[in-house]
Chain A
């Protein structure tokens, strides 16, 4: 079970837990504003852009090549950017904080 916190652009803090699926699915299922997941999680829409808290980067891991390329579509992407449909929910990301991109 991983407990994950989302911070939305209106500064709402949502902490939820799950054992499976992707971080995008977790966000959509819990109504996290700003994560639309339009492509259903196949790394094709970039509507699931989040910033990983700097201290959590090691836990979350790095983006794949496709993901890095897709992130170029987002104007506000930076070194902490991830498309969260590409992040599986596992114990490894327990207590991680994601800030939803605008």
Chain B
């Protein structure tokens, strides 16, 4: 299908782009592979950024692949170069220095960027940070180390904001998390999970404040220290030397828009990863796709999705038709608590909570749409995560009364034989 003259250009060298490049070689792509990223660092794992990287005494990131791997697989890396223009008619693109690059096939693995909320005074505050890149975390670390009061305010109580809160607490910060919604994690989990994490953080000395909408920030002096005053709509305010904004991300679709691709909460792709343009594919956080199992359109922000989708599109680019059909999974680590999630807990009709007997903090939440198991959120409960994964994959029916009865240990027997 492909010849040595073909060129596959991948924009974005993170989980999705890097895996696509290596999978293309596995699928016997004979032509050139050019992997471009605006980030100057050798591609790294993002999840540790808010976890171990923030607390570690090192400035080395966990690399996705060692540099030798790119050489071995003949993948050209262009780092620190932003693609500013895409000409889908003439199949070429331009870097910020106007260098022109032609392509036969193009992969948009452009991911997502932090949302910067419109809060009065925020943009003028020099010392606010986002949570997306290694550089962001380095900047947070530096600012934190230089701070006198060790006061940190995090706007937004999602997984990444909470992980950051836990990590900063571990190294001695005084942390306040301000969440606009009535509870943290509202967008992604049920109240049981929110309650668990609120308690966990509170026990560890992090202040979690809900129903707190930030309205304004201002730079001021307090006891001779330059701090940021964070005002909320209820007239309360908090001071911080380090202000972190973690209110979610939006997909990077500017290039896709230029190319006239179909967009909808991300770049619309078929189950093959193909966009509305025959020669352009999209993968990872930026891709809005159809989940066959849940029969719904989604845009997922997870390593699993980036990695698994990259296999599918590499195969399709090389002429091996494969379709994307997976059950999503995700994890989050905070303090010594491990959260593992499988499935999509959208449109559930009911859920069952299991708090394992005689075991502290071993909890699982099982989400159902009537008889169908949709998703499991497992806290320190890998067994629940693993059974959940198997039951969802095999579309097993669950004996709900057995599941709810914690005097019965969790086992395969909670599935009703179909």
> Could you list which residues of chain A lie within 8 angstroms of chain B, going by C-beta atoms?
25, 28-31, 36, 38-45, 65-66, 69-70, 72-73
Contact = CB atoms under 8 A, between A and B. Distances in A.
B62 A40 contact: yes
B283 to A, nearest CB: 15
B72 interface: yes
Interface string B329-355: 001010000101000000000000000
B118 interface: no
A38 B382 contact: no
Contact of A70 (B63, B333, B386): B386
Contacts of B69: 31
B190 interface: no
Nearest to A73: B386
Contacts of A25: 62
Contacts of A65: 382
12 contacts: A30-B66, A31-B66, A31-B68, A31-B72, A40-B45, A42-B47, A42-B333, A44-B338, A45-B303, A65-B382, A72-B383, A73-B390
Interface centre among A29, A30, A65, A66 (most CB of B within 10 A): A66
B331 A72 contact: no
Interface of B: 45, 47-48, 51, 62-63, 65-66, 68-69, 72, 303-304, 307, 331, 333, 338, 340, 382-383, 385-386, 389-390
A40 B386 contact: no
Contacts of B63: 28-29
Contacts of B338: 42-44, 66
Contact of B386 (A38, A39, A69): A69
A30 B63 CA distance: 12
Q: Which 9 A-B pairs have the closest CB atoms?
A: A69-B382, A44-B331, A40-B45, A66-B382, A72-B386, A69-B383, A29-B66, A38-B307, A40-B48
Contacts of A28: 63, 65-66
Contacts of B385: 69
B389 to A, nearest CB: 6
A39 B331 contact: yes
Contacts of A43: 338, 382
A43 B62 CA distance: 15
A39 B338 CA distance: 13
Contacts of A69: 382-383, 385-386
A69 B378 CA distance: 12
Given A31-B69, A69-B386, A36 B307 contact: yes
Contacts of B51: 42
Given A44-B331, A66-B338, A39 B303 contact: yes
Nearest to A66: B382
A70 B382 contact: yes
A36 B47 CA distance: 15
Nearest to A31: B69
A59 B9 CA distance: 46
Contacts of B390: 72-73
B66 A39 contact: no
B327 to A, nearest CB: 12
B47 A39 contact: yes
Contacts of A36: 307
A44 B340 CA distance: 8
Contact of A42 (B65, B331, B386): B331
Query: Which of A38, A44, A72 gathers the greatest number of chain B CB atoms within 10 Å?
Result: A44
Nearest to B306: A38
B192 to A, nearest CB: 21
Contacts of A44: 331, 338, 340
Given A38-B304, A40-B62, 16 more contacts: A28-B66, A29-B66, A31-B65, A31-B68, A36-B307, A39-B47, A39-B303, A40-B47, A42-B47, A42-B331, A42-B338, A44-B331, A45-B304, A70-B386, A72-B390, A73-B386
A34 B69 CA distance: 13
Nearest to A64: B382
Given A29-B66, A73-B386, A38 B303 contact: yes
Contacts of A45: 303-304
